[in-house]
Amino acid sequence: MALTPSTMVPLGSVMPAFSLPDANGEVVSSDKYTGKPLLVMFICNHCPYVKHIAAALSEFAEEYIPAGLGIVAINSNDFRTYPEDSPARMREEIAARGYRFPYLVDEQQEVAKAFDAACTPDFFLFDHEGKLAYRGQFDGSRPGNNEPVDGSDLRAAADAVLRGEQPGEDQAPSVGCNIKWK
């Protein structure tokens, strides 16, 4: 595992379009979210940084999807080399965690490259115009640092975007495992 920070793409960047299958093969397109705020999360099943916040991600989705935030998760890891990130294992993870958001398979890794995603977890929050409003950490918690897993950074950004405001520009990068490139 290589500890990797998020790239911190420039705020205001336009969301790359995507169309990817979920773990069951149903295609989900970014067009579905046109005109509404969208959180795009790059996660996987095996990363200890994702596992550390997985329950809180599920709770976050339970709260923010009904409030009007679109949420999708994308797994861009090479699942042939890392079989624990395969679509079959993603289906198990969805059931175990109770994820209410689509969990998509980026087998060709083109979407991760288009977003300039670097790590798992990596968060990209777009406003209703499809412009990047937040990129950074879920919160300051990391495995073993005893900080609370509360999603405070992402919650503050999502609350601002849902109010039609821009989050502050002082945003801390997420850190986690590097995306497992082919």
Please give the pLDDT value at position 40.
Answer: 98
Q: Which two tokens stand for residue 52?
A: 């550390």
Question: Which regions of the chain are under pLDDT 50?
Answer: none
CA gyration radius, the chain: 15
Q: Percentage of the chain surpassing pLDDT 70? A: 99
C-alpha span between 123 and 5 (Å, rounded): 11
Distance CA 136, CA 7 (A): 9
Taking the C-alpha atoms of residue 13 and residue 116, their distance in angstroms, rounded to an integer, is 11
CB 127 within 8 A of CB 13: no
Closest CA to 28 of 40, 44, 37: 40
pLDDT averaged over the chain?
95
Assigned token pair, 81: 């080399």
DSSP per residue, 109-132: -HHHHHHT--EESEEEEE-TTSBE
pLDDT for position 132: 98
Q: What domains are there in the chain, each with its CATH number?
A: 3-178 (3.40.30.10)
Q: What is the pLDDT of residue 1?
A: 53
- The per-residue pLDDT for 5 is 81
